[in-house]
Amino acid sequence: MRYILIILIFVTSIFASEAAEYFLKSENNKVFCHIGQYSYKMLTQKDAILANINGHDYFKMKDRNLYFLSNSCQPLTGKKELIGF
């Protein structure tokens, strides 16, 4: 059981960093972040920066004091895909 949990944590950490890597590749790349139950925000490098706080990646809005955990955001690409949280 312990090994299964370790493997699941490892796989989860791989997928959690996908949005941060995509965000940093280009200024035009957008990430779609989940704010509340029915609220979402689209971020680009013009609107936000990537901040590392206590070993976790956060998207910080430049004009506001809002932080979004990187695993609550999903890369928004040009292809059609399911957006799920």
**Residue 50: how many CB atoms within 10 A of its CB?**
17
What pLDDT, in 10s, does the model give residues 26-69? 888 888 888 888 888 888 889 899 888 888 888 899 888 889 88
Q: List the chain domain ranges.
A: 2-76
Beta bridge partners of 10: none
The answer to whether the predicted template modeling score (pTM) of the entire model surpasses 0.75 is no
Question: Which class for 69: exposed (0-12), middle (13-18), buried (19 or more C-beta within 10 A)?
Answer: middle
Q: So what's the pLDDT on residue 56?
A: 84
Q: So what's the pLDDT on residue 40?
A: 86
Q: So what's the pLDDT on residue 71?
A: 82
Cβ neighbours for 22, distance < 8 A, ≥ 6 positions apart: 29, 31, 75, 77
